């Protein structure tokens, strides 16, 4: 009898090879006879390319080929809308600094580097549109003339109840304007890989990717080749966080291999990774909240404008998510939401941890804390009166499915942080004296929730194959789980191996998960939307049940099978069909499943410098069922890291489409010294009956509450509200001077 | 080309390099030691940390010829055969690696610390890894792993 596996913090499946430095990442691959490629990037955020002269570069000894737009069979791509050129040709426009003019392929990396500087490009600069609010105006210069007469890519509205009546019933109205900035994913492993033609003649790419099967669809379109002549292999990935959901290097490697028929390696340096790839969307959020004197929310009116940057990427689905979460995890009877995403000449904005749920979380939680202050009520108590429960009607008119754990995350984190519950009311703890006379102490609380899996009617499915090797007595010697789910570091493969071990009744050590190779594994959907434990976990359980049935049959028939195979495709709509927005009212049933989180931050602000030191963070996440508790804690720690950077340190600065923060010395992700001195992760398990062992998702929810909790704690400490992230020391200090 | 000789992970190694070559590139491109990672290329992130005469250096900006005749340890020099060393084992036990790209550099920084100071405080640990960036973990489990390694090593009387 095997031991219990689900719920145990077994060692991660890839940890030992990672601590030895043996695990191969894309830049660690080298092939015999490989060439090296470098990109010639756009020098302008908006310009027409007049002339491209590659001859000085071509003349350099060791240069093998220089690819320009004419070398691309179908020179366009895009994950959602096909609006991006692969290479920009003469007469065409560059729309941001990440556009590419050419790819130089040479015998060595140094020659490729030298040659790309010799390619001469003449531009006619065009007016730069760098603020989406300006870009929305009717007379704004158009970024995509071919796509109609407006830069507005998408508009979504939600109309629920009677907004006039809702505000008329309110005793208090809080109105604010919030700005959330671009965020760089800053995964430690820059884009890299090798493109080559494999033995079967397939154009093959080794690279980090979040959805290889979808990459192949895009590459198939670009090269005008059928999918079966393409292949993508994903080795270890050095972080992704949404940033590898779009292609930034995969298609370029494929193009190089296709054109020169030799292995070609390409590695981005950090500047390329920061300046030339996508970011989290900045949002401009106007927010009005109305509530009665006793703390019941009556209405919200919200305008959200997101900066899509130069190309659509996933800006439309991100906006859809944002709108659905705009009111927060609260019951709000009357609501008006107007949401826009707009083309500009800024960095392309794309998926990043939260997929549009992070930005509204900052706004709605700031509103709740401002409301608590205005009403003179404890912020925990105010939330308890309004939080969603099973069956509550959400902003989009749908009843919340069973498993709403938001109250439990708030209750557990508040109690852990020292709150007292008395007669249904909540009393904030005494924070004690600050550590120095020039410091002030404050505490802040925030909640957040987000979907698990794809939404708005998108057919979310994950296909899994489980192969068993049987020993002579018919016992399971080994199990191999095959699915197109890459593990970008969060531990998806470990969690799925645990689920498989439990479902098969074998030891965890007997289960392996195949690396993603599209020629070997089925499409399991993207490694995003916090979805693999839920979606692929459900598929793994059913594939295991199938393979166990086959094993029984094989043993019964005594046909001497040594290897049995089961497969299953799990579809989200089989348990909860989702629906798109009604175009007039916005009513819909948007999401399959949800995860919930609450965080509380205790900190001190130096009143002389405005500097914040975070002392303690309590982070409670409702994951339904923790498949591997230590991995859940790791997700919480990582979520807090990104949230703390969002709140305090990370400032991606663009001026007129040009990037000022190009390196880690200029764009500051938190070091260990910036993190909270103490961290208290709390695992809450309110099961989702449709999840594997009750599990939901965890990856994204853990970053939603951090920034609003920290910014509200700064207010608690020194009395200023910072509505424009990040709250740098200078910004806090200036706000304090303004208040004095 | 110049011949660079060093004691690398306990073995005498000699390799031809150009005067401008950087140490990390020599490991990765000439010696096939891929455990040393390059992430920022400017000495900001510590993914490329190796030990030169016991001191942690950022090999992505360190001229290779500076190690002429010196002792160098990379991540490949830790542990024996198939056995992890105490720091590596503690990282596994504390679920410290997520994507793992920063981890070789973290482990080497931890080794530099524990070789010098077997009983570090939490603050001393934080100080020594403050030059090692990680985007996945929030560092909490990494700190716990280093504390665990120190504890286990103290029980055994030092590093193997």
Give the CATH number for residue B41: 3.10.20.30
Q: Which of A11, A21, A187 to mutate to test the interface with B (most CBs of B within 10 A)?
A: A21
Say yes or no: B96 and B49 in one domain: no
Say yes or no: A359 and A471 in one domain: no
B59 contacts in chain A (CB < 8 Å): none
Cα A620 to Cα A632: distance, rounded to the nearest angstrom: 10
Say yes or no: B71 and B96 in one domain: no
What's the structural domain count of chain A? 3
Cα A233 to Cα A247: distance, rounded to the nearest angstrom: 14
Cα A393 to Cα A385: distance, rounded to the nearest angstrom: 15
Give the CATH number for residue A64: 3.90.1170.50
Do B98 and A638 make contact, defined as CB atoms within 8 angstroms? yes
Do B45 and A188 make contact, defined as CB atoms within 8 angstroms? yes
Say yes or no: A220 and A104 in one domain: yes
Say yes or no: A448 and A463 in one domain: no
Do B130 and A630 make contact, defined as CB atoms within 8 angstroms? no
Across the interface, of B74, B98, B133, the residue whose CB is closest to A664 is: B133
Strand, helix or coil for residue A361: helix
pLDDT at A447: 98
Do A664 and B44 make contact, defined as CB atoms within 8 angstroms? yes
How close B28 comes to chain A (CA, Å)? Answer: 8
DSSP state, A129? -
Q: Which of A108, A184, A188 to mutate to test the interface with B (most CBs of B within 10 A)?
A: A188
A242 contacts in chain B (CB < 8 Å): none
How close A629 comes to chain B (CA, Å)? Answer: 10
Say if A413 falls within a structural domain: yes
B30 lies within 8 A of chain A by CB: no
Positions in chain A whose pLDDT score sits under 50 = 1
A672 contacts in chain B (CB < 8 Å): 126, 129-130, 132, 139, 142-143
Say if A467 falls within a structural domain: yes
Q: Strands A283-291 and A297-309: what pairing?
A: antiparallel
Say yes or no: A467 and A440 in one domain: no
Question: Comparing A223 with B155, which gets the higher pLDDT?
Answer: A223
At which residue do the structure tokens 């108590």 appear?
A381
Single residue among A574, A591, A615 that ends a domain in this structure: A574
**Is the distance from CB of A29 to CB of A515 less than 8 angstroms?**
no
Say if A684 falls within a structural domain: yes
How close A139 comes to chain B (CA, Å)? Answer: 41
Do A669 and B102 make contact, defined as CB atoms within 8 angstroms? no
A669 contacts in chain B (CB < 8 Å): 133, 135
Do A12 and B97 make contact, defined as CB atoms within 8 angstroms? yes
Q: Which of B:124-153 have CB within 8 Å of A? A: 126-127, 129-143
Say yes or no: A228 and A115 in one domain: yes
- Both ends of chain A: CA-CA distance in Å? 69
Say yes or no: B8 and B68 in one domain: yes
Across the interface, of A18, A270, A490, the residue whose CB is closest to B40 is: A270
Say yes or no: A464 and A451 in one domain: no
Single residue among A524, A541, A574 that ends a domain in this structure: A574
Residue B80: band (very low, low, confident or very high) from pLDDT cuts 50, 70, 90: confident
Say if A164 falls within a structural domain: no
Say if A19 falls within a structural domain: yes
Across the interface, of B101, B140, B143, the residue whose CB is closest to A189 is: B101
B74 contacts in chain A (CB < 8 Å): 21
Across the interface, of B79, B138, B139, the residue whose CB is closest to A20 is: B79
User: Which of A144, A9, A140 shows the shortest CA–CA distance to A82?
Assistant: A144
How close A23 comes to chain B (CA, Å)? Answer: 8
B107 lies within 8 A of chain A by CB: yes
pLDDT at B157: 58
Single residue among B18, B42, B77 that ends a domain in this structure: B77
Nearest chain B residue (CA) to A30:
B29
pLDDT at A558: 74
Do A673 and B126 make contact, defined as CB atoms within 8 angstroms? yes
Which residues are bridge partners to A226 per DSSP?
none
Do A188 and B84 make contact, defined as CB atoms within 8 angstroms? no
Say if A134 falls within a structural domain: no
Q: Quick one: tokens of A115?
A: 């040659």
**Is the distance from CB of A607 to CB of A438 less than 8 angstroms?**
yes
pLDDT at B82: 83
Single residue among B14, B42, B77 that ends a domain in this structure: B77
Do B37 and A24 make contact, defined as CB atoms within 8 angstroms? no
Q: Quick one: tokens of A259?
A: 């054109």
B126 contacts in chain A (CB < 8 Å): 672-673
Query: pLDDT digit string (tens) for A407-422?
Result: 999 999 999 999 999 9
Count of positions (residues) in chain B:
160
Question: How many CB atoms are located within 10 Å of the residue A124 CB?
Answer: 10
Say yes or no: A422 and A526 in one domain: no
Give the CATH number for residue A547: 3.30.365.10
Q: What is the largest CA-CA distance in chain B?
A: 48
Do A188 and B47 make contact, defined as CB atoms within 8 angstroms? yes
Say yes or no: A379 and A257 in one domain: no
Cα A528 to Cα A454: distance, rounded to the nearest angstrom: 9
Say yes or no: B56 and B100 in one domain: no
Say if A196 falls within a structural domain: yes
Q: Quick one: tokens of A75?
A: 């020179």
Q: Quick one: tokens of A586?
A: 């916005």
Say yes or no: A236 and A106 in one domain: yes
What's the structural domain count of chain B? 2
Give the CATH number for residue B122: 1.10.150.120
Q: How does DSSP assign A646-712, residue by residue? A: IIII----EETTEES--STTTS----GGGS-SEEEEEEE----TTSGGG----TTGGGTTHHHHHHH
B93 contacts in chain A (CB < 8 Å): 11
**Is the distance from CB of A450 to CB of A594 less than 8 angstroms?**
yes
Say yes or no: B31 and B61 in one domain: yes
Alpha helices in A106-172 (DSSP H): 109-116, 132-135, 163-168
Across the interface, of B104, B133, B141, the residue whose CB is closest to A669 is: B133
Q: Which of B18, B84, B99 to mutate to test the interface with A (most CBs of A within 10 A)?
A: B99
Single residue among A551, A574, A597 that ends a domain in this structure: A574
Q: Quick one: tokens of A232?
A: 């993508």
Do B34 and A639 make contact, defined as CB atoms within 8 angstroms? no
How close A268 comes to chain B (CA, Å)? Answer: 10
Across the interface, of B91, B94, B139, the residue whose CB is closest to A672 is: B139
Cα A189 to Cα B102: distance, rounded to the nearest angstrom: 9
Say yes or no: B92 and B73 in one domain: no
pLDDT at A638: 98
pLDDT at B160: 47
Strand, helix or coil for residue A717: helix
Do A238 and B134 make contact, defined as CB atoms within 8 angstroms? no
Say yes or no: B52 and B101 in one domain: no
Q: Which of B9, B34, B98 to mutate to test the interface with A (most CBs of A within 10 A)?
A: B98
B97 contacts in chain A (CB < 8 Å): 12, 14-15, 18-19, 489
User: pTM surpassing 0.90?
Assistant: yes
Do A637 and B35 make contact, defined as CB atoms within 8 angstroms? no
Q: Quick one: tokens of A82?
A: 């096909």
**Is the distance from CB of A72 to CB of A225 less than 8 angstroms?**
no
Say yes or no: A694 and A592 in one domain: yes
Q: Is the peptide bond before A518 cis (omega within 30 degrees of 0)?
A: no
Do A641 and B91 make contact, defined as CB atoms within 8 angstroms? no
What's the helix, strand, coil split of chain A in %, to 5? 30, 30, 45
B42 lies within 8 A of chain A by CB: yes
B100 lies within 8 A of chain A by CB: yes
Do B95 and A630 make contact, defined as CB atoms within 8 angstroms? yes
Say yes or no: A382 and A396 in one domain: yes
Say if A166 falls within a structural domain: no
Say yes or no: B61 and B94 in one domain: no
Residue A491 CB burial class (10 angstroms; 0-12, 13-18, ≥19): buried
Q: Which domain holds residue A561?
A: 15-23+459-574
Say yes or no: A520 and A661 in one domain: no
Say yes or no: B151 and B98 in one domain: yes
Single residue among B77, B95, B114 that ends a domain in this structure: B77
Do B88 and A672 make contact, defined as CB atoms within 8 angstroms? no
Please report the number of interchain residue pairs, chain A to chain B, with beta-carbon separation below 8 angstroms.
171
Q: Which domain holds residue B6?
A: 2-77
Nearest chain A residue (CA) to B21:
A110
Q: Strands A172-180 and A120-125: what pairing?
A: unpaired
**Is the distance from CB of A211 to CB of A483 less than 8 angstroms?**
no
B107 contacts in chain A (CB < 8 Å): 19
Do A637 and B38 make contact, defined as CB atoms within 8 angstroms? no
Which residues are bridge partners to B73 per DSSP?
B51
Across the interface, of A21, A185, A237, the residue whose CB is closest to B104 is: A21
């Amino acid at each position: 009898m095997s031991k219990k596996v689900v719920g145990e913090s077994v060692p991660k499946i890839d940890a030992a090879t990672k601590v030895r430095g043996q695990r191969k990442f894309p830049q660690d691959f080298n092939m015999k006879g490989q060439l090296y490629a470098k990109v010639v990037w756009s020098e302008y955020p908006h310009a027409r390319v007049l002339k491209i002269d590659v001859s000085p570069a071509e003349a350099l000894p060791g240069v093998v080929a220089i690819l320009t737009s004419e070398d691309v069979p179908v020179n366009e791509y895009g994950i959602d809308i096909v609006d991006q050129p692969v290479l920009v040709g003469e007469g065409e426009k560059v729309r941001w600094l990440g556009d590419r003019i050419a790819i130089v392929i040479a015998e060595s990396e140094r020659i490729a580097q030298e040659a790309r500087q010799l390619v001469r490009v003449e531009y006619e600069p065009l007016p730069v549109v760098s603020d989406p609010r300006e870009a929305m105006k009717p007379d704004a210069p158009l970024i995509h003339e071919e796509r109609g007469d407006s830069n507005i890519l998408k508009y979504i509205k939600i109309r629920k109840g009677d907004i006039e009546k809702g505000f008329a019933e309110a005793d208090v109205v809080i109105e604010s304007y919030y700005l959330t900035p671009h965020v760089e994913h800053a995964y430690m492993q820059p884009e890299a890989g090798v493109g080559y033609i494999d033995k079967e003649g397939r154009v093959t790419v080794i690279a980090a990717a979040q959805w290889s099967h979808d990459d192949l669809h895009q590459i198939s379109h670009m090269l005008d080749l059928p999918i079966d002549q393409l292949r993508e292999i994903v080795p270890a990935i050095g972080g992704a966080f949404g940033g590898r959901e779009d292609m930034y290097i995969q298609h370029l490697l494929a193009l190089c291999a296709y054109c020169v028929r030799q292995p070609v390696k390409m590695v981005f340096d950090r500047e390329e990774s920061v300046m030339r790839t996508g970011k989290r969307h900045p949002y401009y959020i106007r927010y009005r909240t109305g509530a009665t004197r006793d703390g019941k929310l009556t209405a919200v009116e919200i305008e959200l404008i997101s900066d899509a940057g130069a190309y659509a990427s996933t800006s439309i689905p991100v906006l859809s998510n944002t709108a659905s979460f705009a009111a927060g995890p609260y019951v709000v009877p009357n609501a008006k939401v107007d949401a826009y995403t707009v083309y500009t000449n800024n960095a392309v904005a794309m998926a990043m941890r939260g997929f549009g749920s992070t930005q509204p979380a900052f706004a709605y939680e700031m509103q709740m804390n401002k409301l608590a202050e205005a009403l003179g009520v404890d912020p925990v108590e105010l939330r308890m009166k309004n939080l969603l429960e099973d069956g509550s009607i959400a902003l989009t008119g749908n009843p919340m499915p069973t498993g709403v754990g938001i109250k439990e995350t708030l209750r557990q984190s508040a109690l852990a942080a020292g709150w007292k519950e008395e007669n249904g009311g909540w009393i904030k703890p005494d924070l004690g004296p600050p550590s120095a006379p020039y410091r002030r102490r404050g505490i802040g609380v925030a909640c957040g929730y987000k979907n698990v899996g794809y939404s708005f009617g998108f057919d979310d499915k994950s296909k899994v194959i489980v192969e068993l090797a049987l020993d002579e007595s018919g016992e399971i010697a080994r199990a191999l789980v095959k699915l197109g789910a890459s593990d970008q570091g969060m531990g998806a493969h470990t969690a799925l191996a645990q689920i498989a071990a439990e479902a098969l009744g074998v030891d965890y050590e007997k289960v392996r998960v195949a690396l993603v190779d599209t020629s070997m594994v089925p499409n399991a959907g993207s490694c995003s939307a916090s979805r693999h434990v839920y979606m692929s976990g459900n598929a793994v359980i059913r594939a295991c049940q199938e393979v166990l049935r086959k094993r029984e049959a094989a043993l019964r028939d005594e046909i001497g099978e040594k290897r049995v195979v089961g497969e299953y495709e799990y579809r989200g709509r089989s348990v909860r069909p989702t629906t798109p927005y009604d175009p007039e009212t916005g009513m819909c049933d948007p999401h399959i499943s949800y995860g919930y989180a609450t965080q509380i931050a205790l900190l001190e602000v130096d009143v002389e410098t405005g500097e914040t030191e975070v002392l303690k963070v309590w982070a409670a996440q409702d994951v339904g069922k923790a498949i591997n508790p230590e991995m859940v804690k790791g997700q919480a720690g990582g979520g807090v890291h990104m949230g703390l950077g969002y709140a305090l340190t990370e400032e991606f600065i663009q001026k007129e489409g040009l990037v000022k923060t190009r390196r880690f010395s200029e764009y500051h992700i938190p070091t260990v010294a910036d993190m909270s001195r103490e961290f208290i992760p709390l695992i809450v398990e309110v099961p989702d009956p449709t999840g594997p062992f009750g599990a939901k998702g965890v990856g994204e929810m853990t970053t939603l509450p951090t920034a609003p909790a920290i910014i509200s704690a700064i207010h608690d400490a020194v009395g200023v509200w910072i509505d424009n992230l990040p709250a740098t020391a200078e910004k806090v200090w200036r706000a304090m001077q303004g208040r004095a | 080309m110049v011949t660079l000789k060093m004691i690398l992970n306990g073995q005498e190694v000699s390799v031809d390099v150009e005067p401008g070559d950087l140490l990390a590139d020599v490991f990765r491109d000439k010696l096939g030691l891929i455990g040393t990672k390059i992430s920022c290329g400017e000495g900001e992130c510590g993914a490329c940390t190796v030990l030169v005469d016991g001191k942690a250096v950022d090999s992505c900006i360190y001229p290779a010829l500076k190690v002429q005749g010196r002792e160098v340890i990379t991540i490949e020099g830790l542990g024996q055969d198939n056995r992890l060393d105490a720091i590596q084992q503690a990282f596994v036990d504390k679920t410290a690696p997520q994507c793992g790209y920063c981890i070789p550099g973290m482990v080497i920084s931890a080794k530099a610390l524990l070789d010098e100071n077997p009983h570090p405080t939490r603050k001393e640990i934080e100080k020594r890894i403050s030059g090692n960036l990680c985007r996945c973990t929030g560092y909490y489990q990494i700190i716990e792993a280093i504390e665990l390694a120190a504890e286990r090593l103290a029980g055994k009387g030092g590093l193997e």
